[in-house]
Structure 1
Amino acid sequence: MTESTGEAAADIPVAFQDPQYHEAVVDLLGAIAYGEISAFERLAEDAKLAPTLEDKVAIATMATAEFGHVGRILERLTAIGADPFAAMAPFRAAIDLFHQHTAPADWFEGLIKAYVGDGMANDFYREIAAYLDVETRDLIIDALEDGGHSRFVVDRVRAAIDADHRLGGRLALWGRRLMGEALTQAQRVAAERDALSALLAGGVDRPGLDLAAIGRMFTRITERHAERMAELGLAS
């Protein structure tokens, strides 16, 4: 082993010596990275529906923030010896299908999806990140922060509902649909990727979740969804 190779190996946490843990982290980072790319594409498309230039700039800023996180995640994948594009590939079909099933019909549905749908996905990833090594966990948590860029969504939706109370009922139904689709996607990802399932289950050297704890995890995600809906002035 050369000196440079030894130094590179020393930079990788001991946890990655467990092949199953390594695979789980690659899966998680791959899913998050493609999710961020997909969110960027969707928000950029939603900007075309913006009724004002201010709204167009605000949604474009959100899109830029989403894409801005991708580089660090891809760098982390490379640093732990993974091909970033191969890591993203298994999640492309599922994430694209989610967006097909939840294509917004108008500007306000797009805002709700950006605030509620993306928020639920991020909550799911944060929950799993709690079981990772410190460096990867901190990277994920930082990547999922929006820096307050989505605050304008709350202001726009609340103002629109005040102007037309009928809009509130329609958007509340839309929010419930997004919750169902997002939970289905999250459960499918957790179930179909063996390494992620094993990560949640834990091991001899790290804590895990039993079925009851997994149930509580999804309860917390659902409760946070209700809080976001309330922030928007909508019933969950």
Structure 2
Amino acid sequence: MSSVDNRAVVDLLGVLAYAELTAFDHLAEDARLAPTLAGRAALARMAAAEIGHHERLAARLTELGADPTAAMTPFVAALDAFHEITRPRTWLEGLVKAYVGDGLAADFYREIAAFLPDPDRALILDVLADTGHADFAVREVRAAIAVHRSVAGRLALWGRRLVGEAITQSQAVIAERDQLAQLIIQGTGDLAGVGRLVERITAAHTERMRTLGLNP
């Protein structure tokens, strides 16, 4: 593997560290929308896992000689804007957002992580691994659709909105840091490679929508 600009590594770890911190915030907030105590507890456990991921990423940034706060700061505006414009109004919208929206973002970061050497690649793939939210979200959403079929159409529209906003967020993140853009171009080889990367992410999104029982 060719040498990777250390600034790109710090940028990627920085955006992920902030993404995990915000995931903790929003999972804890969404837990209050849960219709059952079991659902509330499930999201609280997932939130705890996210803050653990944040701490691991922050520790790695420190090992690299970077200040975690400084590494996260360039990405605050883009990620906060995404969460503000996609704030769920219901329990089900929150679950779809975590499964579809956060899943698409995780796919994007996994693709970039593949261009890094270990131990950073292994760390990123580990913190992006599912914390149990996927299966939980699928069960809850499919059960709700089985009872009230009418919610499927509304949630499908919500899912399409999420993917559009998530793509915009990803573009904003890349635009913030030249090193990340260069890492992607270098890793994929050329613009055609970037196109194939986008196709893989889009295909994974379509499959998630089907898994939820929603039309992509």
Letter in 2 for 1:155: R
Q: Does 1:89 align with 2:73?
A: yes
**In the comparison of the two structures, how many residue pairs are matched?**
215
Contact 1:130–1:137 (CA<8 Å) still a contact in 2? yes
Q: Does 1:46 align with 2:30?
A: yes
Q: Is there any run of 5+ residues in structure 2 with no aligned partner, and where?
A: none
Select the structure of larger CA radius of gyration. 1
Q: Secondary structure in 2 aligned to 1:81?
A: coil
Q: Does 1:228 align with 2:208?
A: yes
Give the alignment of 1:12-31 within 5 angstroms.
Answer: 15=3, 21-31=5-15
159, 173, 176: which one pairs with 1:192? Answer: 176
Give the alignment of 1:203-218 within 5 angstroms.
Answer: 207-218=187-198
Q: 1:48 deviation in Å?
A: 0.7
93, 115, 120: which one pairs with 2:104? Answer: 120
Letter in 2 for 1:152: F
- Rounded Cα–Cα distance in structure 1 between residues aligned with 2:133 and 2:181: 33
With structure 1 as the length reference, what TM-score do the two structures score? 0.88
Map of 2:153 onto structure 1: 169
User: Percent of aligned pairs with the same residue?
Assistant: 58
Note the alpha carbon deviations across 1:10-43, whole angstroms, 9 max, x for none.
xxxx94xx6xx11111110000000000011001
Contact 1:62–1:146 (CA<8 Å) still a contact in 2? no
- Rounded Cα–Cα distance in structure 2 between residues aligned with 1:197 and 1:150: 29
Moved more, 133-142 or 149-158: 149-158
- Rounded Cα–Cα distance in structure 2 between residues aligned with 1:221 and 1:79: 31
47, 53, 56: which one pairs with 2:40? Answer: 56
Q: Secondary structure in 2 aligned to 1:150?
A: helix
Q: 1:61 deviation in Å?
A: 1.2
Q: 1:44 deviation in Å?
A: 0.3
Q: 1:66 deviation in Å?
A: 1.1
Contact 1:30–1:87 (CA<8 Å) still a contact in 2? yes
Q: 1:208 deviation in Å?
A: 4.1
Q: 1:201 deviation in Å?
A: 2.2
Note the alpha carbon deviations across 1:142-192, whole angstroms, 9 max, x for none.
010124343111111001001111100000000000000001111222233
Q: Secondary structure in 2 aligned to 1:32?
A: helix
Map of 1:10 onto structure 2: none
Note the alpha carbon deviations across 1:41-80, whole angstroms, 9 max, x for none.
0010011110000110111111111111111111111111
- Rounded Cα–Cα distance in structure 2 between residues aligned with 1:155 and 1:104: 18
Map of 1:11 onto structure 2: none
Q: Secondary structure in 2 aligned to 1:103?
A: coil
- Rounded Cα–Cα distance in structure 1 between residues aligned with 2:167 and 2:189: 18
Letter in 2 for 1:153: A
Contact 1:98–1:185 (CA<8 Å) still a contact in 2? yes
Contact 2:61–2:68 (CA<8 Å) still a contact in 1? yes
